[in-house]
Structure 1
Amino acid sequence: MKSQQKKSSLSPKLQHHSQISTMEKKDGIHIPFDLTEEILSRLPVKSLLRFLCVSKLWASLITNSIMTWSLTKPRLLVILDHRLRESSIFSLSSYPLSTDKESVSTEQDDHALVRGINGNNMYQYSRGLICCLTTSTLYNTTTRQTLLLPKINSEIPASVIEGFFGYDPVENQYKVFCMVRGSQTYEASYQVFTLGDPKKQWREIRGLGTYLFPTMTTRVCINGKIYFRARIGGYPFHNMLLIVDVRSERFDHVEIPKQPRSLTLVNYKGKLGCICYSDDSAEMWVLEDHAEKQEWCKSISFMSSSSLVKRLEYGTCIAGVTVNDEILIMSKILDCADPLYAEYYDLKQEKIRRVELESTLKGQQKDVRIFSFSDHGENAMSLFR
């Protein structure tokens, strides 16, 4: 009786601590949620991936934390595409962007694609995921999961498939768009695949009323919109910049600021940048997206950029623009007997610095195709959700 009276005389605060003490003895040490979040944020990504199976709460917390951290520290992602007879293999490497070193190391990850072998594989990237429509594959660079996309059904004879990959930040969805067009006719159909859709199938959507022929230029996704260059209509073709809204699944277009010999689309401080270059001049236009209309603003002109243009003419390409206003230039083909370099062109000082990217491929194979992306981040989401 006395013991019961003594227990009931404890204050609510002391009773709460008593309950926690009992839990600690029974289930182990109790760690507050905010402290758990702080501890997890200090662990490397490889360690965090092992904790995804602890609980749904931890999985959600870890996935969001990894993505948030990665977006603040983007890295350079390099895809090396090996042309083999029995399988198509790509190698992934990532490197720091902000560095003053002349050489940086990486972690290598080889992955074989065994479906849809094609000597002209095209890789598209968005927030830690790689899409290769020629092999019908989605790949997560962090979890190393591979998802084979369902077969694209089309009744168009002698069809050619073009694809676009992007992310909608509002609905938190990844989508793959494909355009199936006739190689000899103007007939075309448009379909979309949504990652995480329970039906796991392509859906027919409304495309453009005119004939569309995408060009082999960069395709970049910014704030839920995919941008790419294309030729519209029958002969004579008209060069335009096409826009796909990932959430509404609608197509739009805007005029190219000028008709240069070559151009590259980049993410410039959260806006679309169009770098135009020809002969011995280069300039970048930025697309301002106003409520009423979209218009180009000439942002930066390279008055003495002949050295930059010459580099872009000899087997190199623009991989993006860093937060430090440096244009990243990468090779398109690599002889593995030679070192791999990244060149950074300073827009303000108009100077180029070179960084060697260490690789384990030296002497293994010749003429490896290179795909480079300057906004790589880790992504712990599952492709099979």
Structure 2
Amino acid sequence: MRRARGGKMRRRQRRDDFVAPEIPFDLMIHILGRLPAKSLMRFRCVSKLWSGLIRSRYFTNLYLTVASSRLLPRPLGLYMSLVENNSNDYLELWEYPRKHQLLSLRLSSSINSSESSLKPELTFPGMGGHKMVVLRGLILYSLCRKACIYNPTTRQDVILPAIKSKILDQREPKYVHYFFGHDPVHDHYKIVCTIVIHPRDRGKITSEHWVFLLEPGGFWKKVEYDDQPHMPTREGFCINGVIYYLAFTHTCRDNVYCFDVRSEEFSKIQAPLEVSEFGQSVGFIEHGGKPALLDYTHIGETGVSELWVLEVDGGTWLRKSLVLKPCQRHLVDDIDILDLSVHGTGQNDEVILALCWPCYLLCYDLIKNDLRKVIINREITPDQHLFVYVKVMDKCENIMHLEL
């Protein structure tokens, strides 16, 4: 018995003297880079070392790389901005929105192979606004003449300073468009703002272009553009450090404008001649890492839509006709094409088409040529005068702390 007690005491003493080996710093970085974003937000309180590491730009980029390379697909998630206004005038909506809120939606259930539903996960009163741009897990939206950036992972909302431009003081109708870009060489985020005066008599267009570097001490800087003033007509997107968007001038309507985020220079590409005008039933999307035009004008009548993909190197357009499967034609038979609008692309190059009322989405997989319906489980009535803007969140979770 004495030997047994002595053995237990020695083993207990050995356990008390045991010191776990210190984890190498490089290994700790790789371990943290594979944890959920919510856990990282809590781990910032562990020590100053962990807080500084998690908030560093190096770790943020590492986390984005790891998150984008995960093989497991994330469930469909999107943010929907609801702006209530009693007028259908774009100018009044932009200047004086009555009520606005941002909804976070998640896929809740699958009714059948061609239909599923989304339910509101979180509601953010006072956020959202006119138009939204999603870039590397960040959301850019405009509200009352100011650009706002929201990070869903850190729940941080930053309002950029107002642009001090004399063109905003003029009484002519003004349009403001914001674009979001990232320079992969210098790892810089930049916001581009185009302010346009377009007289009601359809006279000559006047435009200004401003750039904001999203860094501490950032400010709006005016960028000169020597070509004809132009007016953007669609939300833009950034691919490999270049922002693409559609715009027209007082002499030409068919141009794709390119803004190099690094050099801050403009260029333009002629759109396909077959697409004479960018009507409401033409969407500008990213497809396979390239800019593309989706013409769904006749999808309700014939089930056929046209896809034009831009070969950036040669500046040429490749055309492809998409024909809906007969079993899916019923999803578009009773739709007024004028009520249908493109809101970007989601995972697997699915084009998101949204209807304001009744409020639901159509997800069109351009690779598999497959269409499905996604119902939004939120009651929206036509008397609310809602302007609905939908953006699908990419699979990246950005843990960057926004500082100005």
**TM-score of the alignment, normalized to the shorter chain, above 0.5:** yes
For residues 194 and 207 of structure 1, the distance between their equivalents in structure 2, rounded to whole angstroms, comes to: 18
- Out of 271, 277, 282, the residue aligned to residue 256 of structure 1 is 271
Residue deviations 1:102-121 (CA, integer Å, cap 9, x gap): 5456662332437xx9xx71
The within-5 A match list for 1:143-182 is 143-156=154-167, 157-158=170-171, 159-182=174-197
Q: Residue 289 of structure 1 aligns to which amino acid in structure 2?
A: V
In structure 2, relative to structure 1, the CA distance for the partners of 1:44 and 1:294 (3 Å cut) is: same
Structure-1 residue corresponding to 2:130: 121
Matched, 1:379 2:398: yes
Q: Alignment partner of 1:122: what SS? A: strand
Identity of aligned residues (%): 29
Matched, 1:294 2:315: yes
In structure 2, relative to structure 1, the CA distance for the partners of 1:48 and 1:102 (3 Å cut) is: farther
Matched, 1:221 2:221: no
Matched, 1:140 2:151: yes
Structure-1 residue corresponding to 2:105: 93
Does structure 2 conserve the Cα–Cα contact (< 8 Å) formed by 1:286 and 1:297? yes
The within-5 A match list for 1:94-109 is 94-95=106-107, 102-103=115-116, 108-109=121-122
For residues 391 and 193 of structure 2, the distance between their equivalents in structure 1, rounded to whole angstroms, comes to: 21
Q: Alignment partner of 1:264: what SS? A: strand
In structure 2, relative to structure 1, the CA distance for the partners of 1:194 and 1:95 (3 Å cut) is: farther
For residues 294 and 24 of structure 1, the distance between their equivalents in structure 2, rounded to whole angstroms, comes to: 66
Matched, 1:186 2:205: yes
Q: Return the offset for 1:208.
A: 4.2
Residue deviations 1:250-291 (CA, integer Å, cap 9, x gap): 11111112325432122111111211233344111111122x
Structure-1 residue corresponding to 2:255: 240
Q: Residue 318 of structure 2 aligns to which amino acid in structure 1?
A: C
Does structure 2 conserve the Cα–Cα contact (< 8 Å) formed by 1:161 and 1:180? yes
Q: Residue 187 of structure 2 aligns to which amino acid in structure 1?
A: N
Q: Alignment partner of 2:53: what SS? A: helix
Matched, 1:369 2:378: no
For residues 30 and 96 of structure 1, the distance between their equivalents in structure 2, rounded to whole angstroms, comes to: 43
Q: Residue 151 of structure 2 aligns to which amino acid in structure 1?
A: N
Residue deviations 1:206-251 (CA, integer Å, cap 9, x gap): 1242121111x3422211111111112x3x4432111111111111
Does structure 2 conserve the Cα–Cα contact (< 8 Å) formed by 1:76 and 1:97? no
Matched, 1:284 2:304: no
In structure 2, relative to structure 1, the CA distance for the partners of 1:38 and 1:312 (3 Å cut) is: farther
Q: Return the offset for 1:129.
A: 1.5
For residues 67 and 100 of structure 1, the distance between their equivalents in structure 2, rounded to whole angstroms, comes to: 32
Residue deviations 1:274-330 (CA, integer Å, cap 9, x gap): 11233344111111122xx421122x3124589477647152333344554544333
Q: Residue 123 of structure 2 aligns to which amino acid in structure 1?
A: D
For residues 169 and 305 of structure 1, the distance between their equivalents in structure 2, rounded to whole angstroms, comes to: 40
For residues 109 and 175 of structure 1, the distance between their equivalents in structure 2, rounded to whole angstroms, comes to: 28
Structure-1 residue corresponding to 2:78: 77
Q: Residue 103 of structure 2 aligns to which amino acid in structure 1?
A: S
In structure 2, relative to structure 1, the CA distance for the partners of 1:88 and 1:129 (3 Å cut) is: same
For residues 109 and 194 of structure 2, the distance between their equivalents in structure 1, rounded to whole angstroms, comes to: 34
Does structure 2 conserve the Cα–Cα contact (< 8 Å) formed by 1:288 and 1:297? yes
In structure 2, relative to structure 1, the CA distance for the partners of 1:144 and 1:289 (3 Å cut) is: same
Q: Which runs of 5+ in 1 are unaligned?
A: 1-22
Structure-2 residue corresponding to 1:32: 24
Q: Residue 219 of structure 1 aligns to which amino acid in structure 2?
A: G
Residue deviations 1:146-176 (CA, integer Å, cap 9, x gap): 1111111112223442322222222222211
In structure 2, relative to structure 1, the CA distance for the partners of 1:226 and 1:309 (3 Å cut) is: farther
Structure-1 residue corresponding to 2:88: none
Matched, 1:45 2:21: no
In structure 2, relative to structure 1, the CA distance for the partners of 1:165 and 1:107 (3 Å cut) is: same
Does structure 2 conserve the Cα–Cα contact (< 8 Å) formed by 1:283 and 1:301? yes
For residues 316 and 342 of structure 2, the distance between their equivalents in structure 1, rounded to whole angstroms, comes to: 23
Does structure 2 conserve the Cα–Cα contact (< 8 Å) formed by 1:180 and 1:190? yes
The within-5 A match list for 1:336-347 is 341-347=360-366
Q: Report the number of matched residues.
A: 345
Does structure 2 conserve the Cα–Cα contact (< 8 Å) formed by 1:224 and 1:246? yes
For residues 65 and 319 of structure 1, the distance between their equivalents in structure 2, rounded to whole angstroms, comes to: 29
- Out of 247, 258, 264, the residue aligned to residue 230 of structure 1 is 247
In structure 2, relative to structure 1, the CA distance for the partners of 1:322 and 1:187 (3 Å cut) is: closer
Q: Alignment partner of 1:211: what SS? A: coil
Does structure 1 conserve the Cα–Cα contact (< 8 Å) formed by 2:149 and 2:159? yes
Matched, 1:199 2:199: no
More moved, 94-103 vs 123-132? 94-103
For residues 222 and 212 of structure 2, the distance between their equivalents in structure 1, rounded to whole angstroms, comes to: 9
For residues 317 and 94 of structure 1, the distance between their equivalents in structure 2, rounded to whole angstroms, comes to: 21
Q: Residue 124 of structure 2 aligns to which amino acid in structure 1?
A: H
Q: Residue 238 of structure 1 aligns to which amino acid in structure 2?
A: R
